[in-house]
Amino acid sequence: MALFGRILFKKKNAVETFIVAGLGNPGPEYAMTRHNCGFRAIDILAAKLGIDFSKSKFQAKYGEKKMEVKGVEVRVILMKPQTYMNNSGTAVAAAADFYKVPLSNIIVIYDDFDVSLGEVRVRAGGSPGSHNGMESVTSHLSGTEFPRVRVGIGRKMPNEDVIKFVLGNFSPEQEEIIGASLKRAADAAYMIITEGVDKAMNRTNGKAKNG
């Protein structure tokens, strides 16, 4: 349920908490790979909100900020799991349990080769598909009904190894396209928090247009 569907029923001084997790692999050797679109997008969102990742807990780097959204105090927690992609769920679930955050307030940003390069898609929930990081997240959260932002990285060549593909870098031409997509993904996550997942889907889904 969107934030604004609940605000009339919350106590005056209650704080609404959101966790936004960008998925990726730690280390400079992975920084610009296709599999690190989640890290890169959340870095853009962090810059937008003035949040740094100076805190370390939950096997993750994270930062947080409180802001007001239409009269409601909102705590936004941005995190980058340091567990490596396939174990991302351990970090996300630990943070969600610590802050008592419901599934509907957990937003995950990640790369997806089932989405065309240049597209960003927002979903309110659903299966993890073929993404191992999301499989870990859904398994550790024991549920799939949480918003996610999928950054399209395009499909591999027919005979190309999947692991080599997702751990490879974009070409210079592709990097121009993905740069616009990452900004759009960061904006989509912010929109889920401030306006709800339905509006974020309506305004985001489809191909990016010049960033």
Tokens representing residue 27 in the block = 């280390």
CB–CB of 196/2 below 8 Å? yes
Secondary structure E strands in 23-163: 55-57, 60-69, 72-81, 106-112, 119-123, 148-152
CB-facing half-sphere around the CA of 67: CA atoms within 13 A = 14
Measure the CA–CA gap between 73 and 144, rounded to whole angstroms: 26
Pick the catalytic residue from 2, 16, 25, 35: 35
* Burial label, 108 (beta-carbon count in 10 A; 0-12, 13-18, 19+): buried
35 among known catalytic residues: yes
Q: Are strands 206-207 and 15-22 parallel, antiparallel or unpaired?
A: unpaired
CB-facing half-sphere around the CA of 176: CA atoms within 13 A = 4
Measure the CA–CA gap between 92 and 111, rounded to whole angstroms: 17
Q: What are the residue ranges of helices labelled H in the chain?
A: 37-49, 88-99, 132-141, 162-166, 172-195, 197-204
Question: Which residues form the catalytic set?
Answer: 35
